Structure 1
């Protein structure tokens, strides 16, 4: 299914004598440019099917993103095919086809070493608050049972001094919070037994909530506890692709960042420590990092679990293009075909 297409392509249907100039740039898995001058990828597959449906002859040439947009706007190129997001700013100077793929922006960081991870987990304010609440709850529960039971229940409170019994009470509260309720008949007083039954339901939900919070905290701590969302990027060295929607997003949020020619350069910069984080399209990042890890590269790079700034990909079209309506009809037809579903599966089944 991953068809390779040469830079010069003639439609297999009878030609309508229409020849279009197509611009593209490397953006796996949507456009994969090979050393021998051929192309593959989801966007290339889609364009090949559209051109075949409309009987168009075309030539694909390679461009940078900014150059491609400018060339379509000036009608030097007729079509732009890659992973190009539909935005209001771009719509002002050129046109787009219907959307054919939806994704969002994502943040990639380099996984920290063990010492740095432990340090950041231990200094994580959210974790400290959770542990403080946890200890306070244990102390309160233990204190209540101590007041009710320490004079009449030598099974739970066997120490002779009140100070030692208080410690036993705290341990009892800690066990109650972590393990769940004791059997109610282990308590001598009626109030203690009733309280045990009432706390049983509360403790079940409490343990589940604490477990979820701690799991989230430790998971994010292993990734990068300094970044809880896009706004935290303002205090870090950040990279983005030049003239991309990720670069525009960072600029609009007053986040100073370094620009790189393409996503491959972004990944290299992050891996080599030139930047602390990079922002790019999620679908592209997942594919490129997965492929790199299969070859033993970028083992420490991870995509943070935050989704923001939805992106819709479309084909770039010159304004007042004579092919626009037919192209959109063909695109919609292809998106409903089994071949399109198979192409999606080929490129994204392992995501």
Structure 2
């Protein structure tokens, strides 16, 4: 009887365990992961045959191979990708998303795999130079500089005329004609033309001439700089040299990007567009003055669109960006991905991948 009871008990245990394992296998099948992507060269590039390549793709596929994960890519625009990630429609987003305080509240992030910064692209093609020159030539600043120069010339001309008018009537006669001759002499002396048709002969006139000869060199240099400044001030006034200058120019940012968030956080007025390609094309067409976006992506896109002759990224770097893979909140995949990701980015192959896209540091 005891043996029979033990046999029945053993059968029930084995049967129950098998059913439990079968139920768990049914509830947790070998799931194919949905990997959310958005075309973001050089991190995610869609080839003509529909396949994906790029830095993030290479990194993720190495991680997936190590973890033996089955997956498929699903493409979105940026807002759609963030929404799908928020709703749990994708298991991992491998786009180079910048880790921000707002995003940390909505998503989980892996360890960063790339560190960069924001940058500013500006239009380096100039408007019609002749029209710009003529506009500045007749500006108020230029006219003021010319009038001040004439006043100085006239002052020294009158001084030398005052001493010469009595004893040197042939060259510096009385009245307006003599004053004009004094002006002519001061201009010729200042420019070192040296015609010699007018020259002071009195002691007072020669003292004035001596002082004028030495000071004219300094004065003409100063006026030259002033005139040059008045001709170029309009171009220099609106030059974008860093993020502080963005407040006085027409700035454009990509909607939902880290660049847009930076502009909003710093109360910098700007317009928005759907993608970086559209933003750079508007910049090249002189419809805006500056575009703010992540530096490596912007540089790669400018090169890819062949806009190097019209658009340039200025040297100023600001707002450090940490790129990570993102997951829905409380995803168990983060704990599995992180160790492998850290191993990958510390390996030689990672440096080779970055080198292929001119991003090795």
- The interval holding the TM-score normalised by the smaller chain is 0.5 to 0.7
Aligned to 1:272: 285
Which runs of no fewer than 5 residues in structure 1 stay unpaired? 1-15, 126-158, 175-217
Root mean square deviation, CA, Å: 3.4
1:308-341, Cα deviation, whole Å (9 max, x unpaired): 1111111011222121122111111001111100
Paired residue for 1:169? 214
2:261 is equivalent to residue 248 of structure 1: yes
2:82 aligns to what SS in structure 1?
A: helix
1 CA distance for matches of 2:315 and 2:40?
A: 22
Aligned partners of 1:119 and 1:81: how far apart in 2?
Answer: 53
Deviation (angstroms), 1:229: 2.5
- Deviation at residue 241 of structure 1 after TM alignment: 0.8
| Structure-2 separation of matches of 1:279 and 1:66 | 18
- Offset at residue 23 of structure 1 (A): 0.4
Q: Corresponding residue for 1:192? A: none
What residue is the counterpart of 2:340 in the other structure?
Answer: 330
Native 8 Å contact 1:121 1:225 kept in 2: no
2: CA distance, partners of 1:300 / 1:84: 28
- For this pair of structures, how many residues does the alignment match? 259
Q: Answer yes or no: is the 8 Å Cα contact 1:98–1:328 preserved in 2.
A: yes
Contact 1:270/1:278, CA 8 A, preserved across alignment: yes
Give distance in 1, aligned partners of 2:352 and 2:132: 41
Name which of 296, 299, 305 aligns with 2:309.
299
2:329 aligned to which of 319, 323, 332:
319
1:231-280 per-residue CA deviation (whole Å, 9 max, x = no partner) reads 33223222111111111111222223222121111111212233221111
Structure 1 stretches of 4+ with a deviation exceeding 6 A read 116-123, 171-174
In 2, the alpha carbon distance for the partners of 1:334 and 1:350 equals 15
Query: Would you say 1:66 and 2:83 are equivalent positions?
Result: no
The more displaced of 255-264 and 43-52 is: 255-264
For residues 46 and 118 of structure 1, the distance between their equivalents in structure 2, rounded to whole angstroms, comes to 53
Structure having the higher Rg: 2
SS in structure 2 at match of 1:49 = helix
Q: 1:259 to 1:21 in 2, by over 3 A?
A: same
1:119-151 per-position Cα deviation (integer Å, ceiling 9, x unaligned) = 99999x9xxxxxxxxxxxxxxxxxxxxxxxxxx
Structure 1: distance between partners of 2:136 and 2:303: 27
SS of the residue corresponding to residue 97 of structure 2 reads coil
CA offset at residue 167 of structure 1? 4.2
SS class of match (1:254): coil
